């Protein structure tokens, strides 16, 4: 498997839970932080030239159950909101080739927006990366 160059940029999703069924989300294109709500995953996808990548398919899974899906906006953004706390997988699909990037271990916490930030070119094969490999690094105070 060829390595994928990943650099932090920013990525967004929007989720609505439905009663009496497994949580199901409506993922929609987003273009601003003002749309992100608590219990969310958010950011944009850009290529290595720092250009937004629109019209990518985005899927949010929990335990192999599809929670929501949608497309990135013209700014490369999408958002999820009202996602129940837990650990998710985010799958980005390039419709022209069908190649996928799956980000595993995406944590969603109560009253928190989880940033998922990608700067990557279209993969030549399906790839899986851990959220820990792309998560923003925070410095601890001594």
What residue ranges do the domains of the chain occupy?
A: 25-133
CB 79 within 8 Å of CB 30: yes
Chain CA centroid to CA 81, Å: 12
* Class level of CATH domain 25-133: mainly beta
C-alpha to C-alpha distance for 74 and 76, rounded to whole angstroms: 5
For the chain, count helices (H), then strands (E).
1, 11
Q: Exposed/middle/buried for 135, CB within 10 Å: 0-12, 13-18, 19+?
A: middle
In tens digits, what is the pLDDT along the chain, a chain of 142 residues?
333 333 322 233 322 222 223 344 445 455 444 454 578 887 899 999 999 999 999 898 999 998 878 889 999 998 887 789 999 999 999 999 999 999 999 999 888 888 888 999 999 999 999 999 988 876 656 5
pTM reported for the whole predicted model: 0.71
């Amino acid at each position: 498997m060829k390595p994928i160059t990943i650099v932090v940029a920013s990525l967004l999703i929007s989720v609505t839970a439905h009663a009496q069924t497994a949580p199901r989300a409506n993922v929609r294109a987003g273009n601003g932080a003002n749309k992100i709500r608590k219990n969310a995953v958010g950011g944009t996808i850009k290529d290595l030239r720092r250009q937004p990548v629109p019209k990518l398919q985005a899927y949010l899974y929990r335990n192999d159950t599809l929670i929501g899906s949608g497309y990135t906006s013209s700014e490369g953004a999408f958002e999820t909101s009202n996602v129940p706390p837990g650990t998710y997988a985010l799958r980005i699909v390039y419709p022209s080739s069908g190649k996928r990037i799956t980000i595993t271990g995406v944590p969603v916490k109560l009253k928190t927006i989880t940033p998922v930030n990608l700067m990557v070119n279209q993969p030549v094969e399906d790839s899986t990366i851990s959220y820990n490999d792309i998560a923003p690094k925070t410095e601890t105070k001594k």
